[in-house]
Chains A and B, each alone.
Chain A
């Protein structure tokens, strides 16, 4: 199908974009901002959304497409494309889990256009970048005409395809903590075919001390709840130990116990839960292995 008719606005400055978003929203029009279009265009083509106005952010490439190191963080502009993240040496050095994650996102043509900002704003619960943002507790900067706020991922993802973005706000950048010393990261997922959306996905980061004992461990899960889930609280038992695969498996089983994923045509609830356990164990074990090689 084809999109319904809309008015098309192509701002050339961020101020202009924010002004337009503000004004059209005030007028009571339904407005959508368009980034890579890899989630929004299908929705428009299928007429699941019929906005009055489309504001195309692609004219703001010069201000919203960047990857900049900033002490123990990397700042990434909202319009940075998947393929740029995939190929960035800076990202593979400082946030290697993003390089891994990008290879799992769609297909090469999807990665040509899709953006990190669009991915986070779309907030698909089994998408890779929202999972990584939750795992690392990245923060997002949201701007409107009158306000700029920066909030942690935990406060950004609210529900299935729902974030705390206000209708007048544009996500402008993502601030991601870099990999600490003696640490490893891993993302593990199961999808029916390479490039499909994952049925379940797990991400982990493990830091060890000078004796190779776990000093810190984080775990997040996607595809088993309405938002990415931060499961790190359950991992304290690992600290100070040198866990074997079985130890990790046992602990993961315990912390996944209360998961109640919804089933769908691809996988029922019990299977999703099973996947969550297996993928979490793999992700933690792989991250631990990598941390020891540092």
Chain B
């Protein structure tokens, strides 16, 4: 009985950025990050350390930030996954958060950026007006080796302000 329900090879469906993908006959040891990158070819999610320390691989699973290097692909079935590819709108326009990163030079090589963006997305969804300290605390699990953190914090602050400016104009109009 046990043998039968034990998996050496697994096939499963993943829901990534509102789209269903079939993952066929892969080893269960594939990390969620490996499935996203190597099987689904969604290479926006980056892998730095593969032990939870750098944050580059951060994606949202059921709305919360998760290290995709510390979760198996097979564990992500029946969950909603969001990656950096899902941030742009269908027409290809950057999200306000991404605009703010560009505006503030919040990236240089861009390696840390997907993790930074997904972490920031979660922060702003749960706290529309974070203080600079709250932004820093939220980013504490994401390392950047290029820009320093100043511009990243600035960008997130800018995105929060832009967001409330849009909301404000809607309320006025």
Q: Which residues does A use to contact B, with CB under 8 Å? A: 1-11, 19-20, 23-24, 37-38, 41-42, 45-46, 53-54, 56, 58, 83, 106-110, 112-113, 193-195
Contact B29 A41 (CB under 8 A): no
Please report whether the interface of chain A is mostly helix, strand, loop or mixed according to DSSP: mixed
Chain B, 108-144, CB within 8 A of any chain A CB: 119, 122, 137-138, 140-142
Contact of B7 among A7, A24, A45, A107 (CB under 8 A): A7
Q: How far is the CA of A5 from the CA of B2 in the complex (A)?
A: 18
Min CB distance, B63 to chain A, in Å? 10
Whether B107 is near chain A, meaning CB under 8 Å from some CB there, is no
Interface pairs (5), CB distance under 8 Å: A7-B7, A11-B5, A38-B67, A42-B51, A83-B64
| Residues in A whose Cβ lies below 8 Å from that of B10 | 8
Q: Find the residue from A4, A53, A109 having the highest chain B CB count within 10 A.
A: A109
| Residues in B whose Cβ lies below 8 Å from that of A58 | 75
Q: Which residues does B use to contact A, with CB under 8 Å? A: 2, 5-8, 10, 27-29, 31, 34, 50-52, 55, 58, 61, 64-67, 69-72, 74-75, 119, 122, 137-138, 140-142
Contact of B140 among A5, A9, A56, A195 (CB under 8 A): A195
Residue of A nearest to B64 (CB): A112
Contact B70 A37 (CB under 8 A): yes
Contact of A9 among B2, B34, B66 (CB under 8 A): B2
Contact A109 B34 (CB under 8 A): no
Contact A41 B55 (CB under 8 A): no
Contact of B70 among A4, A23, A41, A54 (CB under 8 A): A41
Known: A3-B29, A8-B72, A109-B66. 10 other contacts (CB 8 A): A1-B50, A5-B27, A38-B52, A41-B69, A45-B70, A58-B75, A107-B55, A112-B65, A113-B66, A195-B141
Residue of A nearest to B8 (CB): A7
In the complex where A6-B28, A42-B52 touch, is A109 in contact with B6 (Cβ < 8 A)?
no
| Residues in B whose Cβ lies below 8 Å from that of A10 | 5, 7, 74
Min CB distance, A111 to chain B, in Å? 9
Q: Find the residue from A23, A56, A110 having the highest chain B CB count within 10 A.
A: A110
In the complex where A5-B27, A42-B70 touch, is A109 in contact with B2 (Cβ < 8 A)?
no
Residue of A nearest to B30 (CB): A2
Contact A45 B66 (CB under 8 A): no
| Residues in A whose Cβ lies below 8 Å from that of B27 | 5
Contact A109 B55 (CB under 8 A): yes
